[in-house]
Amino acid sequence: PVVLGIESSCDETGAGLVRDGRLLGSALASSMDEHARFGGVVPEVAARAHVHALMPVVRRALDEAGLRARDIGAVAVTTGPGLSGALQVGLAGAKGLAYALGVPLYGVHHLAGHVAADTLVHGPLPDPCVVLIVSGGHTSLLLVRDLARDPIVHLGDTLDDAAGECFDKVARVFGLPYPGGPAMDRTAREGDPRAVPFPRPLATGPSGHRFAFSFSGLKTAAARWAEHHRAAGPALPLADGAASFQEAVADVLTRKAVAACTEHGVSTLVVVGGVAANSRVRSLAEERCAAAGIALRVPPLRLCTDNGAMIAAVGDLLVRAGAAPAPLEVSVDPSAPLERAELHPAGAAR
C-alpha cells in the first residue's frame, strides 16, 4: 500500500508518500521565519503554523506523486518526541485521515524517522549497522538491527547538550543568524580549522563505555573565546572560530562513531539527523570510514532535517513487517526515549 507519513514535531510540517521503500512524493512547510526573531522555536507559534499548513502539505505531496487521498493505504505519524502541541496537530490530522479513509494508523518515533530517511535513497539498512544520530535535540550512537522489528540498542548518548543544540547556541554567541547550524557551516568555509585549539570532549558513559558524548564544555569554551576576542580587539575572527568549533564537533562525532563500528564488528555506519547536513561532519566521516574500511551512508541534505518522507518510510517498514496499527485513542509522548521505531503511547499528553 501507499503509506502517507506526517511529521509535525517541531517547526516543519512534512508529508511524504512511500510504497515498498520508494518515495513517491513529499512536501514541506516551515515556520522557521516566524521563530527567527525569538532566536528559537516558540511552541504555540509552531502549533498554529501546523494547523495552517498540514492539509495543504498533504495535498502537495499527493499532487507530486500523482495520487489522490483514496490511494492512501496507511497513515504514519510522528507521536513523539517533540513539542506537545505541535505533535498533537499532526496526530489529530492523521487520525482524521485514517478514520475517514478506513486505513490503519501507525505512531512513529521521530528519531526512527531520521534513521529510516536514509533507506529512501540507499535502500534497506544492513543488519546490523551503527547509526550516529545527530540532531537538534539528540546525539546518540545506536546499534540497529531490523528497524521495524527489533529493539534499538543505545551504545551511547549525550550526557548534556545535543550537537545541534551546541551549534545553535554557539552560533548565537558568535552573532550568527538563526538557525545557527547552517550559518556556522557557511561561516566556517572561510576559516582555518586549526586556528583555535578547542577541547575534544571524549566523555565516558555511566558504565564506563566510550560512546557517550558531552558538548557543554566545548560550548563554554567557544563562548569564552568569543567574549575574550570581543573584549580584546577590533574584529572577531569569526570564520576561524567557526571552522575550529565545527572541526572539534566533527572530530569527536566521527572518531566515536568509527570506534563504535570497530568495537562492535559492524561494517556500515549511517549518519542521520540535521547535523548530518554539516559539510565537515560529512567529509571527516568519509575520510575516517574509508581509512577504517567501513561503508558510510549519509542521506542527502533535504532528508537529513525534519520531513514527512522519513515518517512514511518508517510506516512503510512497519506495514511490510506486519506490525499492529495504533488504536484511534493513541496519544503523543513529547519526551519518548528511542526504544523501537513504533511509538503508540496511551493516555493524555503531558
Binding site for Fe cation, by residue number, is 110, 114, 306
Please give the torsion angle defined by the CA atoms of residues 133, 90, 54 and 63, in that order, rounded to the nearest 10 degrees: 70
Closest approach of Cβ 12 to ligand ATP, in Å?
7
Piece in contact with ligand ATP (CB under 6 A), picked from 200-208, 211-219, 267-275, 329-337: 267-275
Indicate the residue among 89 and 103 with the shorter CB distance to ligand ATP: 89
How far apart CA 177 and CA 183 sit, in angstroms, is 6
* Interaction partner, residue 181 (Fe ion, Mg ion, ligand ATP, none; CB < 5-8 Å by kind): ligand ATP
Helix (H, G, I), strand (E, B), or coil: what is residue 2? strand
| Nearest alpha carbon to residue 241 among 225, 253, 230, 227 | 225
Q: Which residues does 168 contact at the CB level (< 8 Å), separation at least 6?
A: 40, 136, 178, 179, 180, 181
Indicate the residue among 25 and 181 with the shorter CB distance to Fe ion: 181
Piece in contact with Fe ion (CB under 5 A), picked from 128-136, 177-185, 204-212, 236-244: 128-136
Piece in contact with Mg ion (CB under 5 A), picked from 9-17, 46-54, 213-221, 296-304: 9-17
Total residues contacting ligand ATP by CB under 6 A comes to: 25
Piece in contact with Mg ion (CB under 5 A), picked from 152-160, 217-225, 244-252, 303-311: 303-311
> Of all helices (H) and strands (E), which one includes residue 29?
strand 22-30
Q: Which of 78, 88, 305, 331 binds ligand ATP (CB under 6 A)?
A: 305
Q: Decide if residue 306 touches Fe ion (CB under 5 A).
A: yes
Indicate the residue among 168 and 240 with the shorter CB distance to ligand ATP: 168
Total residues contacting Mg ion by CB under 5 A comes to: 2
How far apart CA 165 and CA 168 sit, in angstroms, is 5
Helix (H, G, I), strand (E, B), or coil: what is residue 109? strand
DSSP codes joined into one string, 192-221? -TTSS---------TTS-S--B--HHHHHH
| Nearest alpha carbon to residue 261 among 224, 225, 297 | 297
Binding residues among 217-276 for Mg ion as defined by CB under 5 A: none
The residues binding Fe ion (CB under 5 A) are 135, 306
